[in-house]
Amino acid sequence: MGRVRLTETDAPSEAPHPNPSPEGEGLSGKRLGGRYPNDVLISGFDILFFWDARMMMQGLHFMHDVPFRTLYLHGLVRAADGSKMSKSKGNTVDPLGLIDQYGADALRFFMAAMESQGRDIKMDERRVEGYRNFATKLWNACRFAQANGIGGSTSLEPPAASHAVNQWILAETVGTVQAVDLALGEYRFDAAANAIYQFVWSRFCDWYLELIKPVSSEGERGQVDEETKAVAGWVLDQILVLLHPFMPFITEELWHGLAPRDHDLIVAHWPMPDARALDPAAEREIDWLIRLVSEIRAARTELNVPPGARLPLHVRDAGGETHARLARQQAVLGRLARVETTEGDVGGGAAQIVVDEATFILPLEGVIDLVAERARLGKAIAAAEKERDALGARLGNPSFVERAKPEAVEKAKVDHADKMAEAARLQAALVRLG
């Protein structure tokens, strides 16, 4: 499975032939009104020799040229357990039923995201449901935009941006467009779909919309500034254009819902953003902020800190750039991580977080029961390590690996990796307590 590129050198040289080519054109010419040869043939690998090879041989014989320049071989759609679908086995899937339940866009995106060269597609309904949730997240993001006065863009070029968060999302958009273009050029539809998915879900929805969420100094709802409205609207337009080949129905609906348009999304210009005006320093600052908030949130969750508790945040060994970033991002840290930077000594138990050169300390004395928390973590670590070692011993047993069903071996590998990660995460949480 993959693609094969056919060139004129793959065809025989121009020599007298008993069947002259139609219209008398040479090897590189277009015949049959420009319809021969074609550019790309998309085919299942199972008919490579039954159909595709015969097309090539007969095209070379009768037309003096290959019938297509690129042959893309996709995988087969199989049942969830990897077996071939068969009516006699009763393991076929009705795509219309999936469309009725999850929508055509979710099914299309699933097929693209799973279409990896050299691999068949296992029909996993849970993955289709996950992409339906992805479409819902995009819909809610557009609703948030509309509620805050963010509409469609009026320019193909990225708007000017002075805020670090806006410069960051423009840079992320540029990187995503480049990744999608490269993947599509290499017929890696799975890589293209996953690049868009990660950008929309993890960067735009989970972080950018949270970072720009308007909150006044009194904690009440504020207003999004005009620069942010322009940037957010432009990025949303790029998302809809990039997603349209994969999810044509919801993107067309959102395209017209965000702003009055004089054309449909299918004829919109493909994104070609200019990266020359971006600020690497702003990108690094937002990446630092995301890492710090993520680490604080993870520590709070692992140590059972009450979600509503506001904690002081002490910093040690920080350089001048980190102090400047803390000053600029203090309001965001207070809203997203529920911490407030402060001075003074730290007494009692505390969680320590290292981000770059600085160590951030969260005092926990009086917030949680430190003795009980250490005991809980110790028991959880012991349980996770016991399961990890048992799974490792099973996988190390040649009798199990050779005789068990492949899906059982694969599940044991996944469970073993999960328990290893869980034990490491809990151990890190215990170390943080000091």
The reported pLDDT for the residue numbered 275 is 67
d(CA 73, CA 1): 5
The reported pLDDT for the residue numbered 73 is 87
Task: State the pairing for strand pair 121-122/77-78.
Answer: parallel
Q: Between vectors from CA 369 to CA 366 and to CA 372, what angle results, nearest 5°? A: 170
The reported pLDDT for the residue numbered 402 is 85
The reported pLDDT for the residue numbered 28 is 46
The reported pLDDT for the residue numbered 167 is 93
8 A C-beta contact, residue 164 and residue 286: yes
8 A C-beta contact, residue 79 and residue 31: no
8 A C-beta contact, residue 296 and residue 429: no
Q: Domain spans of the chain? A: 2-76, 105-113+121-278, 281-363, 370-432
Tokens of 332: 């965001």
- What are the counts of helices (DSSP H) followed by strands (DSSP E) for the chain? 15, 9
Task: Please report which helix (H) or strand (E) contains residue 359, including its range.
Answer: strand 358-363
Tokens of 352: 């320590």
Structure-token match 């071996």, residue found = 409
Quick check: helix, strand or coil at residue 361? strand
d(CA 54, CA 60): 10
The reported pLDDT for the residue numbered 342 is 81
DSSP 163: S
Structure-token match 């040479």, residue found = 26
The reported pLDDT for the residue numbered 201 is 96
Quick check: helix, strand or coil at residue 352? strand
d(CA 40, CA 22): 21
d(CA 102, CA 96): 10
Q: Specify burial of residue 434 (Cβ count, 10 A radius: 0-12, 13-18, 19+).
A: middle
Q: How many other β-carbons are positioned within 10 Å of the β-carbon of residue 350?
A: 19
8 A C-beta contact, residue 315 and residue 326: yes
Quick check: helix, strand or coil at residue 119? coil
The angle that helices 104-114 and 95-102 make with each other, rounded to 10 degrees, is: 120
DSSP 148: T
Residue whose C-alpha is closest to residue 314's, from 275, 361, 267: 361
d(CA 264, CA 267): 6
8 A C-beta contact, residue 368 and residue 376: no
Question: For 38-81, what is each residue's pLDDT tens digit?
Answer: 889 988 888 888 889 999 999 999 888 889 989 888 888 888 87
8 A C-beta contact, residue 198 and residue 243: no
8 A C-beta contact, residue 79 and residue 91: yes
d(CA 193, CA 177): 11
Averages of pLDDT over each 10 residues, the chain, 434 residues: 57 48 50 84 85 91 89 85 82 89 95 84 90 96 92 87 92 94 92 96 95 60 81 95 96 94 91 76 93 92 87 88 92 91 73 87 81 84 91 89 85 91 84 70
8 A C-beta contact, residue 215 and residue 180: no
Q: Specify burial of residue 348 (Cβ count, 10 A radius: 0-12, 13-18, 19+).
A: exposed
**Strand positions, DSSP E, 19-83:** 38-44, 68-74, 77-78
CATH of 105-113+121-278, one of 3.90.740.10, 2.102.10.10, 1.10.730.10, 3.40.50.2000: 1.10.730.10
* Alpha helices (runs of H) in 213-279, residue ranges in sequence order: 226-243, 248-258
